[in-house]
Amino acid sequence: MAIANYLYLSAILFTIGAVGVVVRRNAIVVFMCIELMLNAANLAFVTFARVNSNLDGQVVAFFTMVVAACEVVVGLAIIVTIYRSRRSVSVDDASLLKQ
Amino acid sequence: MTTSSNLLWLIALPLFSSAILILSGKRANSWGHVLATIVSASSFTIGVVEFFAMHGRSDANRAVTQKIFTWISVGSLNVDASLMLDQLSICFVLLITGVGTLIHVYSISYMSHDHDRRRFFAYLNFFIASMLLLVLGDSYLNLYVGWEGVGLASYLLIGFWNQKPAYATAAKKAFIANRIGDVGLSIAIMIAFATFGDVSFAGIKEHADEASSTQLTAIGLMLLLAACGKSAQFPLQSWLGDAMAGPTPVSALIHAATMVTAGVYLITRSNFIFDEAPIAQLMVLVVGGITLLFGAVIGMAKDDIKKALAASTMSQIGYMILATGLGPIGYAFAIMHLLTHGFFKASMFLGAGSVMHGMKDEVNMRKFGGIGKFMPFTALTFGLGYLAIIGVPPFSGFYSKDKIIETAFNAGGIKGIALGMATLLGAVITAFYMTRVVILTFFGNERWGHKDEPAESPALMLIPIGLLSIGSIAAGFIFSKGDGLVNWLQPVVNPLKEHHAEEFLPPIIVSLMTLVAVMIGLTVAILKYRGDQVAQAPEKVSVLVSAARRDLFQDEFNEAVFMRPGQSLIKILLNLDYILIDGLVRSVAATSLSAGVRLRTLQTGYVRSYALMMVIGALALVTTIWVVTA
C-alpha cells in the first residue's frame, strides 16, 4: 500500500476533528474531536518515521500521547466543574469572557 | 601679592552665626541677638586690624589674597574660591561691618517686642556674610555668589513681616527686579569668559585692551543692567520704595548704606572695562543722571517718611552711578559719596525708626509735627544727617557731592554742562525735599491726633545713631583731606591716569553754585512748609505732584510694558501647549482607544468562533508557506 494513503487518512481524520471542534456545541464531543486531531497528527508522525527510516517520529508520537493524557485529565476536570455549576456542557453557554 | 588667613574669618563668622541661629530654633531666643551682634563686631575688628595692616604696607603691596579652595577646574576654566582685600574692598568691609554692627545694636532694642527677633538677627548675619563675600570675591563668579546672597537676604528681610500680604508682595517685587539685574550679571560673566577665557578681576584687567570694543561694550552694558537691578537705578528702580516694608534697621543697613550700593561697587571694580567702552560709560552717565532726578522728584511728594528717604537713596545712588561714569577720577568720588552717604543715610533711617518707635509705627509725616521737642536727641542727629545730605559745609555730604558736581562740569563740552546742570538741579531738589521731611517731622504744629506724647527712644537705639552722626559730620572732611581717599584708591581705579588740563569752572565757583542751589531749595521748602500744616494730604494737586506721588507711574509703566504683555505671552504659550503638545499626546491616546473599541467586537466569548479563527489562521499560514516555497 502506498505511503501516501496513510497521510490522506491522517488529513481526513484531522479535518473531521477540526470541523467537529468548530461545529459541535457539546463539550464532550468537542473534546473527543480534539483527541481525534491529536491522533491524526500521531498517525502522520508515525508515517514519516517509516518514510525516513528512523525513530524520531515514533518518539514524538509517544510524547503526544502523554500530553493528550494530561490534557484529558485537566479538560475533563474543567468540563465536570462547568457542568456542576451550570448544569450544561454546551460550550456556547460558557461565553461570559467577552467584551 | 601678600596672602592672609584672616579674610575667611570675616565671612565665616557671621555665616556660622547665622546658621547657628537658624538651626537652634527657639532655644536661641534669649541669646541669639547677643551672639549676632558680637559676631558682627568681631568681623569689624578683623576689618580694622586688616585696615591698619594694609595701611602699613607700601602702595603696591597693599592688596592681600586668600585662596580657600579650587572651586571649578574644567578645561580652560579655572576658578578658585578665593578672596582679595584691596584698597577698594577694605572701604566696603569697614562700612558693612561698622554700620552693620551699629545697626545690630540698634535692632536689639528696636526689635525687642518682636517674637521672631532671633530669625531677624540670623538674616542680618547672613546678609553681612553675603555682602562681605560680594566685596571680597576676587573674580566675577565669586562676586556673583555674594550678589545672589545679598539678594536673598534682602528678600527675606523685606518680607520679614510676611504675614501682611502687601509686605510679602513687596519682597517678591524686589526679588524679581533684582533677578533681571542678576541675569545681566550672569550674561556679562559669560561674555567675559568667552572673550578672555577668565573671570577673575586681575586676569581680565590684564587683557582688557586685547578685546574688541564691541565685546567690552556688551560686557559693560550687561554689568550696568546688573548695577541697575541691585542699586535701584532707572529702569529697574521701582522696587526700592516698596522695600521699605521691611523693618527700619533693614532699610538703613541694606536699602540705604550697603546693598543698594553694590552696583556702584560693581562698576568701580570693573573700571578696566568701562574705561575702554565709551558707549557703556555714556549709558552709565545717562542712567545715573535720570535716576538722580527721578528719585529726587519722587522724594518731593512722598508723605511716608521711609519712602521719602528711599527716594532720596535712589537719587543719591544716582549721583554715585553718574560719578562712576565720569571716568577714572569719578570712581574715587563715587566711593567717597557712597561712604559718606552710608553714614548720614543710615543715621537718618535709624532716626526715622526712632521717630516711628515713639509714634507707634506711624510713618505718615503729615501726622507728625513738632516731634523735635519730645525727641531732642533723635531730632539733633537727624538734623546732622540732614545737613550732611543737602551738602552744607563742613558736613560730609558737602565734600563728596561737591566733588561729583565739579567733576560733572569738568566732563567737557555739552555733556559736561548737561551733567553739571542735572547734578546741580538734583542738589536743589534734595535740599527741598529733605527740608520738607525735617520740617514736617520735627517742627510745626503737633498733628498726631492723640494725647500720648512721643517719648525718646532707649539708649541702645540712640547710641548707634549718635555714632553714625559723628560719621555724617566728620567723614567727608577726613576722606578729602589731602585727597586722602583719592590717593588711597589710586592703585585700584587709576584716578590719576589722566589729568584734565582745562577745568570748565574753578572749584570755588562750583562750590558757590552748589551752595546757592542748596539755599534755593532750602528757602523754597521753608516758605512752603513754615506755617501750620494739616494732617491730611491736599487732594487737589497739580498733575506733576500726583504723578510724583504715584512714583512717576513707574509701576503703571512696568505693568503696561512688561507685566501685561508678559501675561499675554504666557497665555499664548499656554494655549499653544494645550492645543499643540497636549493635543498630539491626546490624539495618540484617542486613536489607540478607538482602535481598541473596534477590535473588542471580535471578542465574542464563544470558544467555537475562536477555534474557527485558529483554523483559518493555520490554513492561511500553511497556504502562505506553500505559495512562497512553490
CA B123 to chain centre: 16
Grid coordinates representing B435 are 527740608
* In-domain check, residue B553: no
Higher pLDDT, B35 or B548: B35
Confirm if B170 and B179 have CB atoms less than 8 A apart. no
* In-domain check, residue A54: yes
CB contact under 8 A, A98 and B604: yes
CB contact under 8 A, A97 and B605: yes
- The radius of gyration of chain A from alpha carbons, rounded to an integer in Å, stands at 17
In terms of Cβ atoms closer than 10 Å to its own Cβ (0-12, 13-18, 19+), residue B76 is exposed
CB contact under 8 A, B608 and A21: yes
Compute the nearest-CA separation of B591 from chain A (Å): 19
Q: Is the pLDDT of residue B269 over 50?
A: yes
Paired sense of beta strands B77-85 and B2-3, if any: unpaired
| Residues in A 28-87 with any Cβ partner in B closer than 8 A | 30
Answer yes or no: do B272 and B287 share one domain: no
What pLDDT is stored for residue B495 in this prediction?
57
Count, in order, helices (H) and strands (E) of chain B: 26, 3
Answer yes or no: do B27 and B105 share one domain: yes
**Cis upstream peptide for B235 (omega within 30°):** yes
Average pLDDT along chain B: 87
Confirm if B467 and B102 have CB atoms less than 8 A apart. yes
Mean pLDDT calculated for residue range B131-144: 92
Confirm if B185 and B226 have CB atoms less than 8 A apart. yes
What pLDDT is stored for residue B129 in this prediction?
93
- How big is the CA angle at B538 (ends B535 and B542), to the nearest 5 degrees? 155
**Chain pair A-B, CB pairs under 8 angstroms:** 33
Distance (Å, rounded) from C-alpha B314 to C-alpha B255? 9
Answer yes or no: do B251 and B354 share one domain: no
Percentage with pLDDT > 90 across chain B: 34
Which candidate, B100, B107, B161, B105, places its Cα nearest to that of B126? B100
Q: What is the DSSP letter of B260?
A: G
Distance (Å, rounded) from C-alpha B11 to C-alpha B23? 18
Q: Sign of the CA dihedral B158, B264, B149, B26? A: negative
Report the residue count for chain B: 630
- Diameter of chain B by CA atoms? 120
Tens-place pLDDT, residues A33-53:
999 999 999 999 999 999 998
Which candidate, B341, B301, B348, places its Cα nearest to that of B317? B341
Answer yes or no: do B483 and B594 share one domain: no
What pLDDT is stored for residue B491 in this prediction?
80
Residue B611 contacts A, CB cutoff 8 Å:
yes
Residue A23 contacts B, CB cutoff 8 Å:
yes
In chain A the beta strands, taken as DSSP E runs, fall at none
What pLDDT is stored for residue B501 in this prediction?
46
* In-domain check, residue B64: yes
What pLDDT is stored for residue B628 in this prediction?
94
Answer yes or no: do B442 and B568 share one domain: no
Compute the nearest-CA separation of A55 from chain B (Å): 26
- The radius of gyration of chain B from alpha carbons, rounded to an integer in Å, stands at 30
In chain A, the number of structural domains is 1
Q: What is the DSSP letter of B504?
A: S
Distance (Å, rounded) from C-alpha B606 to C-alpha A21? 12
What pLDDT is stored for residue B301 in this prediction?
86
Confirm if A74 and A54 have CB atoms less than 8 A apart. no
- For residue A95, what are the contacts with CB-CB under 8 A and spacing of at least 6? B604, B605, B606, B607
Burial code (b: 16+ CB inside 10 Å, e: under 16) for B241-271 equals bbbbbbbbbbbbbbbbbbbbbbbbbbbbbbb
Q: Is the pLDDT of residue B497 over 70?
A: no
B323, containing H or E segment = helix B305-324
- For residue B199, what are the contacts with CB-CB under 8 A and spacing of at least 6? B77, B79, B139, B140, B141, B189, B192, B193
- Amino acid letter at B567? Q
CB contact under 8 A, B600 and A99: yes
Distance (Å, rounded) from C-alpha B211 to C-alpha B606? 83
- The residue segments making up the domain with residue A77 are 25-86
Report the residue count for chain A: 99
Residues in chain A with CB shorter than 8 Å from the CB of B612 are 22
Compute the nearest-CA separation of B166 from chain A (Å): 60
**Residue of B597, B602, B606, B626 to mutate, interface with A, max A Cβ within 10 Å:** B606
Grid coordinates representing B358 are 515713639
Residue B598 contacts A, CB cutoff 8 Å:
no
Paired sense of beta strands B64-74 and B77-85, if any: antiparallel
* In-domain check, residue B385: yes
* In-domain check, residue B154: yes
**Predicted confidence band at B544 (pLDDT cuts at 50, 70, 90)?**
confident
Among B211, B246, B276, which residue terminates a domain? B276
Q: Is the pLDDT of residue B545 over 60?
A: yes
Decide: helix, strand or coil at residue B80. Answer: strand
Residues in chain B with CB shorter than 8 Å from the CB of A23 are 608
Q: Is the pLDDT of residue B498 over 60?
A: no
- For residue B270, what are the contacts with CB-CB under 8 A and spacing of at least 6? B219, B220, B223
Answer yes or no: do B217 and B200 share one domain: yes
Higher pLDDT, B2 or B85: B85
* In-domain check, residue B545: no
Residues in chain B with CB shorter than 8 Å from the CB of A95 are 604-607
Answer yes or no: do B500 and B599 share one domain: no
Confirm if B207 and B272 have CB atoms less than 8 A apart. no
Answer yes or no: do B298 and B193 share one domain: no
- Amino acid letter at B170? A
* In-domain check, residue A66: yes
* In-domain check, residue B579: yes
Confirm if B323 and B330 have CB atoms less than 8 A apart. yes
Q: Is the pLDDT of residue A97 over 80?
A: no
Q: Is the pLDDT of residue B503 over 70?
A: no
Confirm if B21 and B125 have CB atoms less than 8 A apart. yes
CB contact under 8 A, B615 and A18: yes
Distance (Å, rounded) from C-alpha B507 to C-alpha B410? 10
Distance (Å, rounded) from C-alpha B242 to C-alpha B524? 28
CB contact under 8 A, A94 and B611: no
Residue B604 contacts A, CB cutoff 8 Å:
yes
Tens-place pLDDT, residues B357-395:
888 888 888 888 788 888 889 899 999 999 999 888 888
Grid coordinates representing B511 are 562750590
Please give the span between the terminal C-alpha atoms of chain A, in angstroms, as a whole number: 52
Mean pLDDT calculated for residue range B512-540: 82
Answer yes or no: do B343 and B212 share one domain: no
Among B242, B276, B310, which residue terminates a domain? B276
Q: Which residue has the cell 448544569?
A: A87
Distance (Å, rounded) from C-alpha B241 to C-alpha B232? 9
Distance (Å, rounded) from C-alpha B571 to C-alpha B548? 33
CB contact under 8 A, A99 and B607: no
* In-domain check, residue A9: no
* In-domain check, residue A42: yes
Distance (Å, rounded) from C-alpha B617 to C-alpha B288? 86
In chain B, the number of structural domains is 3
Lowest mean pLDDT across B61-70, B207-216, B532-541:
B532-541
CA atoms within 13 A on the CB side of A39: 12
* In-domain check, residue B550: no
Answer yes or no: do B223 and B283 share one domain: no
Residue B603 contacts A, CB cutoff 8 Å:
yes
Question: Which residue in the set B605, B606, B611 is minimally distant from A21, CB to CB?
Answer: B611
Provide the CATH number for the domain around residue A77. 1.10.287.3510
Residues in chain A with CB shorter than 8 Å from the CB of B605 are 95-99
Answer yes or no: do B204 and B145 share one domain: yes
CB contact under 8 A, B601 and A21: no
- Amino acid letter at B334? A
* In-domain check, residue B382: yes
B285's torsion region: left (phi>0), alpha (psi -120 to 50) or beta?
alpha
* In-domain check, residue A1: no
Answer yes or no: do B502 and B593 share one domain: no
- The residue segments making up the domain with residue B321 are 278-537
Which candidate, B109, B113, B155, B154, places its Cα nearest to that of B131? B154
CB contact under 8 A, A25 and B606: no
**Residue of B600, B604, B607, B612 to mutate, interface with A, max A Cβ within 10 Å:** B607
Please give the span between the terminal C-alpha atoms of chain B, in angstroms, as a whole number: 92
